[in-house]
Amino acid sequence: MDVLGGATRLDLAGLELTDSDLRTLRPSIVNLTALSSLSLSGNELTSVPEAIGSLTALTALSLSDNQLTWVGTAIGNLTALTFLDLSSNRLSLVPDAIGNLTALTRFSLSGNKLSSVPETIGNLTALNALSLSGNRLGSVPETIGNLTALRALSLYGNQLTSLPEAIGNLTALTSLDVSKNQLTAVPEAIGNLTALTTLSLYGNRLTVFPEAVGNLTALTSLDVSDNQLTSVPEAIGNLTALTRLWLWGNQLTVVPEAMGNLSALTELWLNGNQLTSLPEAIGNLSALTKLWLNGNQLTVLPEAMGSLSALTSLDVSDNQLTVVPEAIRTLTALTELELSGNQLNDTAKELDSADTEAEHH
């Protein structure tokens, strides 16, 4: 059909013009009133054609990977949309009319140049997935708390210095990513998000571990690495469903005994801290397969580590160890042991050498 040119697929309901080098759309697109799905991803469009606002049957619209700098108010006419992808463009603002799209369940604005999002985003109460990652957001409107059907929210890679208290209303959330921002604290209301299974806070400026995280007992993955934490509260021991825990790149000098409650944990990153010792309770982590302790100030390892029978990989390099517990030799599942950068005596060096040789066979 010549009205659009370059179409790779056209039928009564769907049109795909992905990667077709389009810079503009012909006005005759308004004739395709039956279209329910339109993909214009990977082109060279600089604005959303106003004519698209006439395609009121659309339920899915993808405009990702273009060069969009402008979205007009006509997009607000597409009230049947359930899927809208505007990611990887050059948008610096989004019109208030976006709040008309109340049927949306999935919406991505990631990888743009947004410094704010309109308050009307709070009208999109059917949303279950929202990505605002990779923008320049300094704040998020309180109206985000209206999105109570939301299950996944990504705010990764912005310039957020705080999160609104209203985030505590998002009790259906199972995944929240606010990593790579400038947060110095998170609201206590985060403790209301008891359905969360994945929480990422890495790469912020947190100095205090959020106590409220101890309420999130459904968590299986928690990342608070690359912050400025000096301690971890005993409440971490409540997170008994955790399988992966990232605490690397902080300023921790101790970890609490309660860490020993995390019996489902399979991977634990404690590298790049200032730990001088570990609690004996670490020996309770019977499911642990990988443990990173490198780049600390450990002078001794607890004998209880000999109980970590599932451990396959252990890195204690770049510490201040002079001896390694005999119990380490009983870890028959261990295939990787890194001891370099310590002050080991000859016996410990033999253990390191034997392990290195084993790795090469």
- CA-CA distance, 325 to 68, in Å (whole number)? 60
For residue 246, name the pLDDT band (cuts at 50, 70, 90): very high
Q: What distance, in Å, lies between the first and last C-alpha atoms of the chain?
A: 63
User: pLDDT tens-digit profile of 72-92?
Assistant: 999 999 999 999 999 999 999
| 277 in any annotated domain | yes
| 250 in any annotated domain | yes
Instruction: Give me the mean pLDDT over the 175-184 stretch.
Output: 98
The confidence score (pLDDT) of residue 357 equals 45
User: pLDDT tens-digit profile of 141-156?
Assistant: 999 999 999 999 999 9
CA–CA distance from 119 to each of 78, 94, 95, 139, 331 (Å)? 19, 11, 10, 11, 56
For residue 6, name the pLDDT band (cuts at 50, 70, 90): very low
| 171 in any annotated domain | no
**Percent of the chain whose pLDDT exceeds 90:** 83
User: pLDDT tens-digit profile of 17-73?
Assistant: 887 888 888 888 888 989 999 999 999 999 988 889 999 999 999 999 999 999 999
Instruction: Give me the mean pLDDT over the 270-288 stretch.
Output: 97
The confidence score (pLDDT) of residue 10 equals 43
Which domain covers residue 290, as residue numbers? 197-361
| 325 in any annotated domain | yes
Instruction: Give me the mean pLDDT over the 270-276 stretch.
Output: 98
| 73 in any annotated domain | no
| 336 in any annotated domain | yes
Q: Which of 242, 307, 251 is closest to 279 using CA atoms? A: 307
pLDDT mean across residues, the chain: 92
User: pLDDT tens-digit profile of 294-332?
Assistant: 999 999 999 999 999 999 999 999 999 999 988 898 999
Looking up residue 261, the CATH number of its domain turns out to be: 3.80.10.10
The confidence score (pLDDT) of residue 349 equals 55
| 246 in any annotated domain | yes
| 164 in any annotated domain | no
Q: Look at the chain and report how many structural domains it folds into.
A: 1
- CA-CA distance, 71 to 56, in Å (whole number)? 16
For residue 272, name the pLDDT band (cuts at 50, 70, 90): very high
Burial 191-228 (b: 16+ CB within 10 A, else e): bbbeebbbbbbbbbebeebbebbbbbeebbbbbbbbbe
Tell me the pairing of strands 37-39 and 267-269.
unpaired
